[in-house]
Amino acid sequence: MSAGIRKNGIGCLEVYQASLEQRLQQGEWDLVCRDEELCKEMETRLSECSPQNFHSQLGLDLLSVIEASLQASHHTSGQNRLRSLIKAFEVLELAALNLYLCPWRKEYKVVKMFSGMFTHCVKPALTAQQAKELFALLGYQPAGSNEEELTLSAKPVHSHTLLQLACGFFTARIECQLLLTAVASLGGSMECVLQLIHERKRGCTFQIALDSTKRKLECAPCDTPLALDATLDLYTDDNLAEHSHMASPPSLPYIPPSDAPLPHKMSHSNTSQSNKERNEKKAQTVSISSLTCQIIATPQKTDSSLKPCENERQFTVMCNAQLNASKEGQHMGAALSKVIRSFLHSST
């Protein structure tokens, strides 16, 4: 059949009609096209041509229907939604073929939206608005006050249009199957499906659309780690300030409060200089206070029984011990000894 289509220039609609008549002659009860040879031929033609031109010849913008259905889905998996769409297009194909073959049958005049087939095959894939619009192409309209039923209008749709719509729903199934196979290699996310459909709507062949989708998904910003925007400021309302407080860490060294302990990570030179200054102040304070205490305490501890020379030697030894403990005492030793001798001389 594939060679015959190419040689004779037979269109898709004619091939679809021929396949339908052959199945009817064989007594097959399933009107939905499952001809493997025709399905493969349709896959080849869809993958090698612009889908917009192909589907528009059948009176449907099926890629937009598929895209809108995916965007309305609450699921993150595009594969499950595509499988549901395949079932929904099967139901629409069957409804079109029923009206094409037997428009007089009364059971085909009302579509119950609460029926098992509608609930399990149509609702999971199409929104309520989409379902009404697609069934309206077949001639079904809401049944007045009953929102759960679609009634066939008094003016029937032409039989050729019904066959054309049936073929269009068939090609929609094949398109979904192609998308399902391709998206499985991309991870199956909804983002992959929508990007692939976007490339297809641009008129790309399927392989070109698939390659373009892979490149764009690899370069997507979501694949790079998130970082703080250096232009944003936590403390002002100017998000585009040239000198933002959040742009970089402060460049000046940290200076603690005067009464706070120095941090452990100060430089060695600063630490040594600070320690030296503190030691000098401490030495001065200790030396002066110690000598003062000794000068005051000495007369109280003097024994009157001791001779002046012995008292002098004791004070000299004690003062020299204090003076040796401090660098400052060495400079004051001569003056202090003179004061002590004068004091002892007056006491005797």
Q: Evaluate whether 180 touches 83 at the Cβ level (below 8 Å).
A: yes
pTM score over 0.85: no
Tokens of 321: 């011990």
Q: Evaluate whether 336 touches 291 at the Cβ level (below 8 Å).
A: yes
Residues contacting 32, CB < 8 A, separation 6+:
90, 93, 94, 97, 170
Q: Evaluate whether 241 touches 235 at the Cβ level (below 8 Å).
A: no
Q: What is the pLDDT of residue 258?
A: 57
Structural domains for the chain: 2-220 (1.20.58.2190), 285-347 (no CATH)
Q: What is the dihedral of CA 228, 234, 239, 245, to 10 degrees?
A: -80
Tell me how far apart the alpha carbons of residues 343 and 323 are, in angstroms, rounded to a whole number: 19
The amino acid present at 250, given as its one-letter code, is P
Element of type H or E holding 131: helix 128-137
Query: What DSSP assignment string belongs to 274-288?
Result: HHHHHHHHHHHHHHH
267-277 residue pLDDT tens: 445 555 555 55
- Write out residues in the chain with pLDDT < 50, as ranges: 1-9, 221-252, 254, 262-268, 282-306
> Residue 3 CB: number of other CB atoms within 10 A?
8
Task: Tell me which residue of 172, 217, 187 sits closest to 199, measured CA to CA.
Answer: 217
Helix, strand and coil percent figures for the chain, each rounded to 5: 65, 5, 30
Tell me 261's DSSP state: P
174-210 residue pLDDT tens: 999 999 998 888 877 888 889 999 999 888 888 898 9
Query: What do you get for the CA distance between the two ends of the chain, in Å?
Result: 145
The amino acid present at 208, given as its one-letter code, is I
The strand ranges marked E within the chain are: 110-112, 140-143, 146-152
Residues contacting 176, CB < 8 A, separation 6+:
66, 82, 85, 86, 89
Tell me how far apart the alpha carbons of residues 5 and 11 are, in angstroms, rounded to a whole number: 7
